[in-house]
Amino acid sequence: MAKEPTSGTGSKSFSSNDNGFRTIERCHDMIQRSLRLPMVEFLREHLEKSGCYVGNNFIKAVNCEQKIAGGYLRGRGIIVCSNHMTFQDEVNQVVIHELIHAYDDCRAKNLDWKNCAHHACSEECIKRRVMQSLKCNPNCSGAAAKDAMDAVWDICYNDTKPFDRAP
């Protein structure tokens, strides 16, 4: 997992900053739009069915110091890094991706985000993206990240829960 980003404030009078990225307020609006997507509704429903409440404040827009798009923080929810978002589709993809992490964390009560194999297994992406995500985890060096991904790939790649098949 990435280090927790710092939250900041944005200007309500502008929709983006000087770099073209979204303010916290604009990103919050984009998150609200993403909550209406069928895939997001599906994931939230399955989180609740698994016993994990997803309230209105579960997904937050923040400014992030690290160069990450967002993250899932156990017990705190999902953050979307407004200062790294430009388009609605980027926000949609981050929300979906992090909801899958939240679902995995909910159903696997012993998931240890410091364990590179556990982290790798929660990634729903192709190997290149798994490696990118693991590199953000300070507990996973280059060799440990690759070893962890290789060790769990076959089992985890075929785990499509909560979906019946790979979306």
98 is catalytic: yes
39: tokens are 């895939």
The residue from 90, 98, 123, 124 that is catalytic is: 98
Residues 23-52, mean pLDDT to the nearest whole number = 94
Residue with tokens 């790649």: 157
* Distance of alpha carbon 116 from alpha carbon 110, whole angstroms: 14
Give me the pLDDT at residue 150, please: 80
Q: Is the pTM of this model over 0.75?
A: no
Q: Which of 5-9, 37-41, 78-82 is predicted least confidently?
A: 5-9
pLDDT at 131 over 60: yes
